[in-house]
Amino acid sequence: MRPVIGVVADVKPSRKYVWHKVQEKYLYAVARGADAEVVILPGRLSAVDAEERAISPDPDRLLAFLDGVFLPGSPSNVDPAIYGGERTFADELLDRNRDDLSLPLVRAAVERGLPLFGVCRGFQEINAALGGTLHQHVQDIDGFGDHREPDGDVETQYGLAHEVELVEGGVLHGLAGAGRVSVNSLHSQGIDRLAPGLVAEAYAPDGLIEAFHVAAAREQGAFAIAVQWHPEWRVWADPLSTALFRAFGDAARGYAAARSR
């Protein structure tokens, strides 16, 4: 049985229109790697004129028919106002319509024990949704390296950038069967304060948290993992990426089976 996994969309203006969209590489990774049916989840719908109102999604209604939620990466950043920060980046890097879906969806999924997988922005969203904070420009902070992607073509940008140390006994350590793995790196935001209830799974060489799990989910045998790197890129070619998406799909199938009983 192929579970149904919802993938959160970016909300972006383009010329005269607003688009709710997801890069295909994320959809393909979920469909192939997790062996799942994929549905795109639109964010908040803005008012089309002054006499109309915005329409926010209902997380509980969405989760009633989903077996898992995937939070993909994005060029946009989580609004710092969500975690009490002062924004230091340009307006065009905001996506409040996505924030309005993703953060309540995270909290509802964790409460239900529904499988949850976050990548890059999704990693940052889970931390912010559960009470953590973010560095907005990691590369400008003493002691941290530059985690942004290098210039060049897509192959160069998504190439391996550095190792991460996997926490012994963690979920990723078990999936990788090793203490260290090499990952790509395409981000300027990063974890400042880890949210209560999250447990670090991996660290970059400069000490930045690169992965975590939701403690309550693991205690209940559920899947709720997030990574700062991009395992969706050529998911079939990297053993840990393959194992991550397979575990996510297996968890979603288990959730679907339990829901149907």
Active site annotation includes 230: yes
**DSSP 3-state assignment of 31?**
helix
DSSP 85: P
Active site annotation includes 120: yes
DSSP output for 176-234: HTSSEEEE----S-EESSPPTTEEEEEE-TTS-EEEEEEHHHHHTT--EEEESS-TTTT
| Catalytic, out of 20, 120, 201, 213 | 120
Active site annotation includes 168: no
| Catalytic, out of 149, 201, 210, 232 | 232
List Cβ neighbours of 78 (8 Å cut-off, separation of 6 or more): 99, 121, 124, 125, 128, 134, 189
List Cβ neighbours of 12 (8 Å cut-off, separation of 6 or more): 18, 19, 21, 95
Buried b (16+ CB within 10 A) or exposed e, 172-201: bbebbeeeebebbbbbbbbbbebbebbeeb
Label the pairing between strands 209-214 and 4-8. Answer: unpaired
Active-site positions read 120, 230, 232
